[in-house]
């Protein structure tokens, strides 16, 4: 296997055999001419089932995670929806993180619960709590690491052991780390989920998702549901995602560099009461993070002294950091999880602190980002 950056630029992306086009074309077509009623020219028949631009993206995504199979979806949530339906039946149970991505929690709590799939939310840094939550009906352990927005770390290899002992599968939502920083399948996970909307796309211009696995039977189910339910990305979305992926390795290095600089500034600031970043030696799971991640990513969260009002005031005053949901783009974003991304967890076990801010540290000059935060903190 070639190196990561080489795979990101070339996997699934050979020059077009007909024209020599170095870049994979945007195959904007819904259907493909056939040579006979059962004769397909290039293996394609109808673009919900498969499209060459999407196929290039799927090959590349699999290569990035060191896997055999990749499937692309219209969003990260569409990927999660298909994974839940591929692995669970009414009466089954899943274990999820107690600070899961808000949309994932909503899908599981508000949609799948109505279809008879139960869940238990536990802090996955606590392996005993995960083991205790397993039931005979548990089919899936759903892991996010680092988590959103508190950046806790779960031990992927240990969770795989717990899941497999109970006859369940482990899915890792690898959106925050990206395959550049962490490859869960190599640590024993059964399937990786991505919101490619974030770092993989990397430019805040496209929504997408992916499921990646080495399990041929699971991939077959995923492909069946991808085609049956049809939440596929269009060719332009697949192309934008592929273009973003080409620079993933260099972008992640700079995201990490800038995040480290900002963490140091926040830690020293009197208006900040705590900083959450897995690269800090004081982070409770730093050793696990150092074992399974190459570096620690571009996401940082912190609590502001003075409660929700003080946190909201900081959000209102940054100029380089844009107040917006989402993450993983070239531009820096700031948000207030309790009122924005995680509003749906209010009043539940997954509720986040009102004084918490989340930063998606982008690729601007670190000095400008630091000056902006210092001015907003006053």
Site for ligand PLP in 232-271 (CB under 6 A): none
Strands 34-36 and 39-40, by their bridges, are antiparallel
**Least gap, CB of 144 to ligand PLP (angstroms):** 6
* 173 catalytic residue (yes or no): yes
Distance CA 189, CA 168 (A): 11
44 included as an active-site residue: no
198 labelled catalytic: yes
Give the 3-state secondary structure of residue 36: strand
Q: Is 173 or 190 the residue whose CB approaches ligand PLP more closely?
A: 173
- Give the one residue of 58, 173, 190, 372 binding ligand PLP; rule: CB under 6 A: 173
Nearer to ligand PLP, 176 or 239 (CB): 176
- Residues 191, 210: Cα–Cα separation, whole Å: 10
Could you say which residues in the range 195-214 bind ligand PLP, by CB under 6 A? Answer: 195, 197-198, 207, 209
DSSP assignments along 53-74, one per residue? HHHHHHHHHHHHTT-SEEEEES
48 is catalytic: yes
Quote the least distance from Cβ 281 to ligand PLP, whole Å: 25
Q: How many angstroms separate the CA atoms of 322 and 316, rounded?
A: 9
Catalytic residue among 44, 101, 180, 277: 101
Which CB atom, from 145 or from 285, has the smaller least distance to ligand PLP?
Answer: 145
Catalytic residue among 155, 173, 190, 219: 173
Task: Report how many residues bind ligand PLP under the rule CB under 6 A.
Answer: 16
Any idea what DSSP says for residue 38? T
Is 213 in contact with 222 (CB distance < 8 Å)?
Answer: yes
Residue-wise DSSP of 193-217: EEETTTTTT-SS----EEEEES-HH
Residue of this chain nearest to ligand PLP (CB atom): 76
**32: closest CA among 24, 44, 43?**
44
Per CB under 6 A, does 101 bind ligand PLP?
A: yes
State the Cα–Cα distance between residues 53 and 46, nearest whole angstrom.
13
Rule CB under 6 A: choose which of 12, 52, 76, 244 binds ligand PLP: 76
Instruction: Find the shortest distance in angstroms from Cβ 226 to ligand PLP.
Output: 15
Q: Considering the complex, what minimum distance in angstroms separates the CB of residue 271 from ligand PLP?
A: 27
Q: Which of 175, 183, 214, 345 binds ligand PLP (CB under 6 A)?
A: 175
Task: List Cα–Cα distances, 171 to 17, 140, 370, in angstroms.
Answer: 36, 7, 36
Distance CA(235)–CA(276), nearest Å, equals 38
Q: Provide, rounded to whole angstroms, the least separation between the CB of residue 329 and ligand PLP.
A: 12
Q: What are the residue numbers of the active site?
A: 48, 101, 173, 198
Residues that bind ligand PLP (CB under 6 A): 75-77, 101, 103-104, 144, 148, 173, 175-176, 195, 197-198, 207, 209
């Amino acid at each position: 296997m070639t190196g990561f950056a080489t795979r990101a630029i070339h996997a699934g992306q050979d020059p077009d055999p007909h024209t020599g086009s170095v870049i994979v074309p945007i195959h904007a077509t819904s259907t493909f001419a056939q040579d006979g009623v059962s004769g397909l020219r290039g293996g394609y028949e109808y673009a919900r089932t498969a499209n060459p631009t999407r196929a290039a993206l799927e090959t590349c995504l699999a290569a990035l995670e060191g896997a055999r199979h990749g499937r692309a979806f219209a969003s990260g949530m569409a990927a999660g929806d298909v994974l839940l339906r591929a692995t669970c039946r009414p009466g089954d149970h899943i274990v999820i993180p107690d600070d899961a991505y808000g949309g994932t929690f909503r899908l599981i709590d508000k949609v799948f619960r109505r279809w008879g799939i139960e869940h238990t939310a536990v802090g996955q840094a606590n392996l005993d709590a995960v083991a205790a939550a397993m039931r005979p009906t548990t089919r899936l352990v759903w892991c996010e690491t680092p988590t959103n927005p508190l950046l806790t770390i779960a031990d992927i290899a240990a969770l795989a052991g717990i899941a497999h002992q109970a006859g369940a599968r482990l899915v890792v939502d690898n959106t925050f780390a990206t395959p550049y920083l962490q490859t869960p399948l190599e640590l024993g996970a059964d399937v990786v989920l991505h919101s490619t909307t974030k770092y993989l796309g990397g430019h805040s211009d496209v929504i997408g998702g992916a499921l990646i696995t080495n399990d041929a039977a699971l991939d077959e189910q995923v492909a069946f549901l991808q085609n049956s339910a049809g939440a596929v990305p269009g060719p332009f979305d697949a192309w934008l995602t592929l273009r973003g992926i080409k620079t993933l390795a260099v972008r992640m290095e700079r995201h990490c560099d800038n995040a480290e600089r900002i963490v140091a500034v926040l830690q020293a600031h009197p208006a900040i009461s705590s900083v959450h970043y897995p690269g800090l030696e004081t982070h409770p799971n730093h050793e696990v993070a150092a074992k399974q991640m190459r570096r620690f990513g571009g996401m940082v969260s912190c609590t502001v002294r003075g409660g929700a009002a003080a946190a909201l005031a900081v959000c209102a005053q940054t100029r380089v950091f844009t107040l917006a949901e989402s993450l993983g783009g070239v531009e820096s974003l700031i948000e207030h999880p309790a009122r924005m991304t995680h509003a749906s967890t209010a009043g539940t076990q997954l509720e986040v602190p009102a004084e918490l801010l989340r930063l998606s540290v982008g690729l601007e000059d670190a000095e400008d980002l630091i000056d902006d935060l210092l001015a907003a903190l006053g």
